Amino acid sequence: MAKLRILKYGDDTLRKVCRPVETVTPRILTLLDDMLETMRAADGVGLAAPQVGVLRRVVVVEVEAGHPIELINPKIIAYAGEQREQEGCLSLPNEWGTTVRPAHVTVRALDRNGKEFEITGSDLLARALCHEIDHLDGKLFIDRLAK
């Protein structure tokens, strides 16, 4: 595994829409492993592939230590409620703002074996899933700041 460089706000890559993963290849598996190592080293709870310069729909989230969630081609399929909470981003170090996100989300994605699964999360997990999936569409948390 390798620690990757996290792109910072202002890099055009962060505003691009990512392409879906057609096949889970060894390269994608290495990307997942490297992203997890990078996220943990940066004390984050989530990381999306464009944050490390890869325009693919790949995300890692770990809101509970030792229980990483790997998502390939994630898509929010249901959401409910609302939460207004402080949010930050590894690509915008030391920047925080209150965002409006769903309180509960269900996401459908592929796992590292190419098998489809669904995950439902509330509170921090819901926020992290939404935040990272936004990255795949070139959106940053500062685009979702509460008025």
At residue 147, the pLDDT reads: 77
**Under 8 Å CB-to-CB from 20, ≥6 apart: which residues?**
56, 57, 73
d(CA 41, CA 139): 23
At residue 52, the pLDDT reads: 98
Please report, to the nearest 10 degrees, the dihedral formed by the alpha carbons of residues 79, 36, 47, 111 taken in order.
Answer: -40
Delimit the domains of the chain by residue range. 12-144
Closest CA to 73 of 102, 114, 101, 105: 114
Residue 61 pairs in a beta bridge with 46, 69
- Number of Cβ within 10 Å of residue 145's Cβ equals 12
Segment 99-130, tens digit of pLDDT = 999 999 999 999 999 999 999 999 999 999 99
At residue 145, the pLDDT reads: 92
pLDDT at 49 exceeding the cut of 80: yes
Residue 110 pairs in a beta bridge with 72, 116
Q: Is 132 one of the annotated active-site residues of the chain?
A: yes
Query: What percentage of the chain has pLDDT greater than the value 70?
Result: 100
Q: For residues 89 and 53, is the Cβ–Cβ distance under 8 A?
A: no
Answer whether 0.85 is exceeded by the pTM: yes
Catalytic option among 62, 70, 87, 132: 132
Q: Which two tokens stand for residue 74?
A: 């994630």
- Domain 12-144 matching CATH 3.30.420.40: the answer reads no
